[in-house]
Structure 1
């Protein structure tokens, strides 16, 4: 009968709608349900009709007539429901057609209004910057978890830099106490707030780079020590490393002049000590040379040089760092814990610091001189 067919059709639609219902779109389902419940109630009433009359009724005619009226009413209700669903279509297709803002992160980025991540490769390819506006124009497949991959175009390239996000171009990967770190770029030391800083490469990124690699990266200035992420690695054969003049001179001295071991004071006599006046220099690490360095510096009044082994008590290390004008962190004979502690303390207290790979006092002091001169230059430029 028509009544059974209509009921079956509504029941089928009810199951279909319920399967597509979530907490987010339940209100729409509820609106769809109300008129259909009314139709079901009417079907119940018709099925209970008892024709009571003195005359023998034409049951087939009466029931079919009632059913015909009901069918027309049901079709009308279904048509109106279909119209309501079409009107709600923009909700179903969000965010397609909407313009949203991109936010750049230490690695990759995100469209936060829809919590949609943008991979670093795409950020670099499209030259996306913080604050750019993108328009979602459709989808192009799905991720492994079934979520849609959205296609978008950039409609506004206004750059609104994140004040806590900083970038490093052509950083040189080195190693301190077994951990990869970036302390300088091809053009010189890395500074923040006029002070040299050390950027530790995360465990995840350390699997992709090695000592000597040239990389780009980003870090958060409110977490300098541990937030650095590698965003790109150069083909080192195609990168022209432009060393500073001071670094070139230092490398020349290191490669062509060996520091005498028996007469360690000889080169010290030729050292221009002017940059070291009124500067307290702290070296942490290289414990095997403490006595050798002390014998030489004790006879050099112009240089205030303090040497810690790296195994000292944290309280002593902290006190010496806070009293120093610059800090040198040796990459030789130093623990990972000490390296991280010293770098973090220097960064948080704006104390100029850099690493040194050298094992001779003259070369170590030349690293200190380079850092002092760069610091003075930064201050004068400000």
Structure 2
């Protein structure tokens, strides 16, 4: 094989990795739109298709039925929590939601396959992180194109409003890029990626700052909560340095630079997307009122008041077998709520939360040996990312249901896997 052909083959393999990763993470509902097949069903079919090349290229007869024990216990905990809720819901003749609650396992298997494919073609940890950052950068470019050429936004609107009536109020302010979710999971995910770029620019190279303008723009145009997720990254890092008795001038400089980017992007939107700018400013005003004046308005009024309720008595322990989302909450005499902790408590109570959250946090808190890393600086970086991921996940679960699945949970699992080599290192179990 000639060098030119090898180079072409490598480019095709990388392109495949990027397309596959983009699809699994952003889950654009193209199959729903084009062939009438739910994206979740299509994802399962894709998994069956991917198993064949995965086994033949990345496995051998001694490893094909083995899985890292930490990943195994994570998926086992998710399975048991889904089974518990199914039993609890069936006792009250409610929707058992077994497929919805287990779909995250399908996504985790996809992630394991993606990581093995990446390693097969020679990707290192930073290369894998850059795949996520590059895809977010592409989303930023697509978003800019949709701002410059509004007719292109019809693609995003078509993906968002499949079989639903359009909400003009939301459409004129938000919905940019290519995704399966625009207003909740994806903005929080991009907030996490912006934080990763921020951390890498401090601990590694400043070139990672190039990602921030693109990622922050996508966040601004789709979901304000993603900004809060990003804002906690310098706070986590500052606490790290304070506990070590250090002051990082580089962190301060880059934090100021990130703030300038954020302010600049917001001012640009005041010109090219005034409705979005007004929506962002209203969120900032609500945040100032809440944290400085202890005044609840906007989303804070809902999240800290009307959406906040919990089951009583035995229901707090065993759950009630249903969610407080949509019309069912009204039927049960409650206000509808999308707060993750509220819905999980009503679904299965403390028992359900202990099983599900316990499995996830045990996996995320797994601390590797420093021998995994080339130096102490690398170790500190990945340890900070791990701690930040936990904080971001728990924070996001207040805004919505992220502990039971979706892009946010999948992303922190992926980041943990690649930064700590959990997919291949350590003990394995037979399945």
Q: TM-score when scaled to structure 1?
A: 0.21
Higher strand share: 1
Higher helix share: 2
Structure whose CA Rg is larger: 1
Q: TM-score when scaled to structure 2?
A: 0.20
